[in-house]
Structure 1
Amino acid sequence: MSDLEFDLLDELYFVQGFGYLQESLGWEDVVLMETLTSLYKKAMIKCLSGPDEERFDQVDIFKEGKELYFLATKKGLMAHNTL
């Protein structure tokens, strides 16, 4: 897990929107989207359309990311807590 992935997972213990993550981390859009995509592909985060609406289809974070919410999965939390 990269340092960026670790720092992003720190923010995803609770459901957070893209805008919150960008403001909290202060990263460029592309860096945030790349890191979200990396964690998503590793099944360490899940995407939501709204705070309580999990997405079960394949999500293109670069296309839809600014409108989504994110949450660490059990796998992501376990990986984050064992480092």
Structure 2
Amino acid sequence: MTDEEFDLLDELYFVQSFDYLLEELGWSDELLLQTLHSLFQKAMIKCLASPDDELFGNVDILNEGKSMLFLATKKGLMAHNAI
């Protein structure tokens, strides 16, 4: 797990918006989108259209991530806490 992935997972114990993550982490849009994409590919985060509406299948975080919400999965939380 990269330092960026660890720091991002630290923010995803609760459902968070792209804008909240951008403000809290102070990263560029590109870095945040790439890190979200990487964690999603590793099944460490969930993507949501709304707080109760999880997105499944082929989720295009790189192009549509700014309008999504994010939450760490059990796998992501376990990996985060193992370090």
Shorter-chain TM band = over 0.9
User: Is residue 21 of structure 2 the alignment partner of residue 21 of structure 1?
Assistant: yes
Deviation at 1:33, TM superposition (A): 0.5
Give aligned-pair identity as a percent. Answer: 67
Distance 2:2 2:71 in 1: 18
Distance 2:57 2:3 in 1: 28
Distance 1:18 1:51 in 2: 13
| 5+ long unaligned stretches in structure 2 | none
- How many residues are aligned here? 83
| 5+ long unaligned stretches in structure 1 | none
- One-letter amino acid of the structure 2 residue matched with residue 12 of structure 1: L
- One-letter amino acid of the structure 1 residue matched with residue 52 of structure 2: D
Match of 2:47, SS state, is strand
Q: RMSD of aligned C-alpha atoms?
A: 0.5
Deviation at 1:4, TM superposition (A): 0.2
Could you list the structure 1 runs, at least 4 aligned residues long, displaced by more than 2 angstroms after superposition. none
The TM-score normalised by the length of structure 1 is: 0.98
Distance 1:66 1:11 in 2: 16
Structure 2 counterpart of 1:32: 32
Structure 2 counterpart of 1:10: 10
The TM-score normalised by the length of structure 2 is: 0.98
